[in-house]
């Protein structure tokens, strides 16, 4: 028992050390400034908490005994602390001795190392480091290990309370978004200096955390009146958000929610209907370009000469933003049907390849039809929306519009999910042949999925064009499709709140991490890989997806499933089926 | 006039004649069994009838019209539903959702109606759900509507497949080995259900079955397939004593055991 606790502690400590080393090497301390070490320790405490709580079921957490837990936590903290502090001391000695480490470790500048000691870079150059630096760092991380163990115990206590007296944890989950929102508002008020230079980024992060925790809160609330009331309050908070955030934060949130719109559309195609579409950007591009044609006809050589010959002046938009909405959506929807028809008979990988091609075709069209689209020079000066004669195109207003658009789309998707068509999509995703033999017209059902998904992408594209004001074919590369697909997968396929969370994580977090430049993509990729191993169904999966990926569905079958190793779903029906 | 009339139906896979010129007539409100050794082409014949396969030759007349060349979703809309030998439910859906998918062809709601929850859609959905619960109760799954299909016990999954097929309000129901893998008690329940399908709902039944006790006791007529050819047809007692059937399929031992 003792040995096992120590072993586990060593292992967890080594993992934490690896993560800390990575964060230090990519220059995170530089960004954090004097607070670097405490913040890293806090992060380590969270890592320890997740590692120490281990088992996923409530039962496993309730069974953790305090003594071995603290032993494991302290060992882990000590291991991580000693190793990390020594690493930092090593780099400090190298830098002070004037060794040039940058060719290998390009981020190990004096500022980075000095931040870990909580001093100015000048002190490092002068060779004056605090004498207790090493001990301080090691102690801080050891403390993180103890804190991690403590967190597990606190969670255990809260969970046990849940059973006896009505859910402290639930109330905490439901209150969290409002606490975070209040924090965001407080951070924005004049005179607050928390976070120094990074205050704006910190606020953005907190705003995203508030939205994300709101989704969890909704899930924790009891269905019925409690949930409705909470939804109303959260909605009020969400509406208030654009008015408290600044230009930069609103701009990031705008793009995040444009991707929420896209993700919700793709979620219908991939999550509901199970059609793997890798060319989804095509409909986004169609929406953006059709709006550009309508709102900036002068930017297109062919269009402007045609309109001039018809005697229509081309110095302004043809129709307003609002009147353009049905046109762009219909155009994108038509694109969806046109793509759908040739791929009706394709499944799985083949479908993915063909749709991938379709996405590229649209982009190449935009690039090479320079008479119509002005080619790589792009469509410039696309008109922003106007409301009562005032421009409605600054980041705050775009964020409001994106929120509105995402809300409408989420509502439509939610209603469709529970409808006759939604059931047909799921049936088709599970077994195409049987679905057809049960009376589902596959052609119609697939085309509807493509068309509805495309309609939503078209709307997102229009808003994107209005936001950017200048659009180029390069804005619509394959990576937009991949980003959108990843956010659907990370969030949880087929889950509407999951899409929102996925967009926050995949489109929002990189903006927060902007300081670490070239490493953010690597960091992100690593996070994605870990995520797919640990939680393949996504962060906030739909109940149906969870059922598909984790065999144990109902509470009745849980104990049996816990004993069996994870088998692919077909297995169990086979041996459970034949007597 | 027979409800279903298969005329010289032929299905060929490469060089193998899976079904070769099979004629079969099913009268309205009859219970007809199709039997034969493994690989005799029974399920292939079912697949031809329900549009999963398109037969190379022959014609299938159902309720006065030809089915050849129609898609399976068109065929079920005409009133022919089926179950599967290896259960093919929509596993991640609940029992009631499975039946609702079965009702798909009888429902009319549109995507726009669903988004705006038009009164028509709401009424239709309510009615459909109530009907689905009634169907579940009819097959003996009352109260299990909200269970996930794949978590149901094996016997219940078979019943759910019947309920799903009933959702399309069929005139003819094709059952592919409905009693396979069931214990004697469940088998008796299934036989009773098949009788009730015919007597209470007026549904004509065509079934494939290996359990001779079931076949002999519930069928009005029995057809025997062997190597894709129909080798015998008639009342159960006629087929039972047909020497070709004994040779091809039942074996003398089984026969004496049953007559004894």
> A292-327, pLDDT tens digit by residue?
999 999 999 999 999 999 988 888 889 999 999 999
Q: How far apart are CA A299 and CA A397, in angstroms?
A: 24
User: Does B73 have pLDDT greater than 90?
Assistant: yes
User: Does A558 have pLDDT greater than 60?
Assistant: no
Query: Taking CB atoms and an 8 Å limit, are A423 and B111 in contact across chains?
Result: no
CA end-to-end distance (rounded Å), chain B: 37
The pLDDT tens digits of the residues spanning A474-499 come to: 999 998 999 999 999 888 888 999 99
DSSP label at residue A564: S
Conformational region of residue B21, where left means phi above 0, alpha means psi within -120 to 50, and beta covers everything else = left
Instruction: Give the domain ranges of chain A.
Output: 2-159, 173-232, 247-487+524-530
Q: Which residues of B touch A (CB under 8 A)?
A: 50-52, 71-73, 76-77, 81-82, 84, 86-88, 90-93, 97, 100-102, 104-105, 107, 109, 111, 114-117, 121, 125, 147-148, 150-151, 154, 164, 168, 181, 183
User: Which residues of chain A have a CB within 8 Å of the CB of B76?
Assistant: 437-439
Which of A437, A552, A570 is the best substitution to test chain B (most B C-beta atoms within 10 A)?
Answer: A437
Query: Taking CB atoms and an 8 Å limit, are B77 and A439 in contact across chains?
Result: yes
Q: Which one of B51, B76, B109 has the shortest CB-CB distance to A420?
A: B109
Q: How far apart are CA B94 and CA A364, in angstroms?
A: 45
Q: How far apart are CA B50 and CA B58, in angstroms?
A: 14
H or E element in which residue A469 lies: none
Q: CB pairs below 8 Å between A and B: how many?
A: 117
Confidence of residue A524 (pLDDT cuts 50, 70, 90): confident
Alpha-carbon distance A500 to nearest alpha carbon in chain B (angstroms): 20
CB A457 within 8 A of CB A283: yes
Burial class, A160, CB count within 10 angstroms (exposed 0-12 / middle 13-18 / buried 19+): middle
pLDDT of residue A257: 97
DSSP label at residue B17: E
**Mean pLDDT confidence for A108-136:** 83
User: Which residues of chain A have a CB within 8 Å of the CB of B88?
Assistant: 431, 434
CB A12 within 8 A of CB A48: yes
Radius of gyration of chain A (CA): 27
Cα nearest neighbour of B104 on chain A = A439
Q: Which of A67-71, A321-325, B73-77, B92-96 has the least mean pLDDT?
A: A67-71
Q: Are strands B16-26 and B172-176 parallel, antiparallel or unpaired?
A: unpaired
pLDDT of residue A29: 85
pLDDT of residue A162: 53
**Mean pLDDT confidence for A74-89:** 93
Q: Which one of B71, B81, B114 has the shortest CB-CB distance to A415?
A: B114
pLDDT of residue A567: 37
Query: Taking CB atoms and an 8 Å limit, are A416 and B114 in contact across chains?
Result: yes
User: Does A517 have pLDDT greater than 70?
Assistant: no
pLDDT of residue A426: 94
pLDDT of residue B260: 42
The model's pTM: 0.84
Neighbouring CB atoms inside 10 A of B125's CB total: 19
Cα nearest neighbour of A415 on chain B = B115
Proportion of chain B in helix, strand, coil states, percent, rounded to 5: 45, 25, 30
User: Does A574 have pLDDT greater than 60?
Assistant: no
β-bridge mates for residue B176, sequence order = B208
User: Which residues of chain A have a CB within 8 Å of the CB of B77?
Assistant: 439
pLDDT of residue A578: 36
Which of A413, A439, A445, A455 is the best substitution to test chain B (most B C-beta atoms within 10 A)?
Answer: A439
Query: Taking CB atoms and an 8 Å limit, are A436 and B72 in contact across chains?
Result: yes
The pLDDT tens digits of the residues spanning B183-240 come to: 999 999 999 999 999 999 999 999 999 888 899 999 999 999 998 999 999 999 998 8
Q: Which residues of A touch B (CB under 8 A)?
A: 411-412, 415-416, 418-424, 426-427, 430-431, 433-442, 448, 452, 544-545, 547-548, 553-554, 556-557, 569, 573, 576-579
**Mean pLDDT confidence for A105-131:** 82
User: Does A178 have pLDDT greater than 70?
Assistant: yes
The pLDDT tens digits of the residues spanning A419-458 come to: 999 999 999 999 999 999 999 999 999 999 999 999 999 9
User: Which residues of chain A have a CB within 8 Å of the CB of B117?
Assistant: 415
Neighbouring CB atoms inside 10 A of A289's CB total: 28
User: Which residues of chain B have a CB within 8 Å of the CB of A577?
Assistant: 86-87, 154, 181
Cα nearest neighbour of A425 on chain B = B101
pLDDT of residue B258: 53
**Which of the pair, A396 or A63, is modelled with greater confidence?**
A396
């Amino acid at each position: 028992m003792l040995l096992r606790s120590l072993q586990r502690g060593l292992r967890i400590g080594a993992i934490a050390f690896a993560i800390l080393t990575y964060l230090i090497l990519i220059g995170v301390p530089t960004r954090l400034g004097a607070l670097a070490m405490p913040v890293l320790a806090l992060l380590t405490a969270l890592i320890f908490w997740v590692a120490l709580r281990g088992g996923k079921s409530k039962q496993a957490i309730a069974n953790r005994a305090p003594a071995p837990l603290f032993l494991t936590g302290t060992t882990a903290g000590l291991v991580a602390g000693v190793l990390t502090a020594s690493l930092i001391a090593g780099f400090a000695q190298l830098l002070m001795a004037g060794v040039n480490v940058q060719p290998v470790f390009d981020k190990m500048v004096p500022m980075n190392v000095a931040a870990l000691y909580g001093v100015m870079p000048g002190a490092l150059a002068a060779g004056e480091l605090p004498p207790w630096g090493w001990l301080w760092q090691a102690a801080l991380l050891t403390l993180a290990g103890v804190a991690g163990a403590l967190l597990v115990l606190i969670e255990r206590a809260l969970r046990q309370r849940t059973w006896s007296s009505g859910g402290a944890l639930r109330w905490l989950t439901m209150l969290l978004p409002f606490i975070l929102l209040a924090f965001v508002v407080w951070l924005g008020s004049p005179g607050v200096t928390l976070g120094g230079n990074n205050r704006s980024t910190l606020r953005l992060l907190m705003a995203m955390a508030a939205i994300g925790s709101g989704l969890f809160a909704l899930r924790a609330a009891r269905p019925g009146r409690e949930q409705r009331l909470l939804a109303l309050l959260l909605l009020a908070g969400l509406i208030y958000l654009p008015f408290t955030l600044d230009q930069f934060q609103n701009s990031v949130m705008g793009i995040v929610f444009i991707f929420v719109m896209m993700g919700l559309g793709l979620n219908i195609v991939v999550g509901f209907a199970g059609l793997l579409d890798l060319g989804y950007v095509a409909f986004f591009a169609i929406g953006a370009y059709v709006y550009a044609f309508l709102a900036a006809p002068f930017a297109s050589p062919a269009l402007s000469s045609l309109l001039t010959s018809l005697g229509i002046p081309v110095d302004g938009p043809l129709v307003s933003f609002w009147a353009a909405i049905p046109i762009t959506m219909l155009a994108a929807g038509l694109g969806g049907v046109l793509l759908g028809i040739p791929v009706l008979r394709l499944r799985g990988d083949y479908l993915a390849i063909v749709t991938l091609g379709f996405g590229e075709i649209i982009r190449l069209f935009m690039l090479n039809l320079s008479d119509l689209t002005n080619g790589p020079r792009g469509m410039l000066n696309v008109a922003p929306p106007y409301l009562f004669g005032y421009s409605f195109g600054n980041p705050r207003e775009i964020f409001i519009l994106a929120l509105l658009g995402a809300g409408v789309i989420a509502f439509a998707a939610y209603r469709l999910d529970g409808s006759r068509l939604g059931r047909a999509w799921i049936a088709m995703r599970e077994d195409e042949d049987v679905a057809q033999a049960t009376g589902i017209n596959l052609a119609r059902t697939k085309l509807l999925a493509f068309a509805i998904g495309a309609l939503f992408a078209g709307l997102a594209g229009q808003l994107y064009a209005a936001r950017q004001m200048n659009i180029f074919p390069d804005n619509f590369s394959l990576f937009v499709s991949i980003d959108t697909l990843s956010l659907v997968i990370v969030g949880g396929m087929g889950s509407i709140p999951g899409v929102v969370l996925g967009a926050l994580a995949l489109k929002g977090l990189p903006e927060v991490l902007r300081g670490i430049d070239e490493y953010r993509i690597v960091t992100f990729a690593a996070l994605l890989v870990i995520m797919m191993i640990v939680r393949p169904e996504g962060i906030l999966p739909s109940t149906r997806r969870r059922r598909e990926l984790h065999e144990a569905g109902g509470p009745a079958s849980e104990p049996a499933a816990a004993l069996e190793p994870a088998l692919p779903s077909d297995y169990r029906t086979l041996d459970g089926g034949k007597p | 006039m027979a409800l279903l009339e298969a005329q010289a139906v032929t299905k060929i896979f490469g060089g193998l004649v899976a079904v070769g010129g099979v004629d079969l007539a099913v009268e309205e409100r009859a219970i007809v069994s199709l039997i034969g050794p493994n690989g005799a082409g029974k399920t292939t014949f079912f697949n031809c009838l329900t549009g999963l396969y398109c037969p190379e030759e022959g014609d299938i007349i159902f309720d006065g019209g030809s089915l050849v060349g129609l898609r399976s979703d068109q065929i079920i809309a005409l009133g022919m539903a089926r179950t599967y030998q290896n259960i093919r439910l929509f596993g991640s859906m609940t029992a009631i959702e499975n039946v609702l998918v079965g009702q798909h062809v009888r429902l009319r709601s549109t995507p726009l109606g669903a988004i705006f929850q038009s009164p028509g859609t709401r009424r239709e959905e309510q009615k459909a759900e109530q009907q689905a619960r009634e169907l579940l109760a009819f097959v003996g799954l009352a109260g299990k509507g909200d269970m996930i299909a794949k978590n149901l016990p094996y016997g219940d999954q078979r019943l759910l497949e019947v309920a799903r097929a009933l959702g399309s309000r069929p005139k003819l129901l094709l059952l592919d080995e409905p009693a396979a893998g069931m214990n004697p008690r469940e088998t008796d329940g299934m036989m009773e259900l098949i009788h009730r399908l015919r007597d209470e709902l007026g549904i004509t039944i065509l079934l494939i079955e290996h359990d001779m006790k079931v076949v002999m006791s519930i069928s009005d007529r029995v057809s025997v397939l062997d190597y894709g050819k129909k080798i015998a047809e008639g009342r159960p007692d006629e087929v039972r004593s047909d020497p070709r059937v004994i040779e091809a399929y039942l074996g003398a031992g089984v026969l004496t055991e049953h007559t004894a």
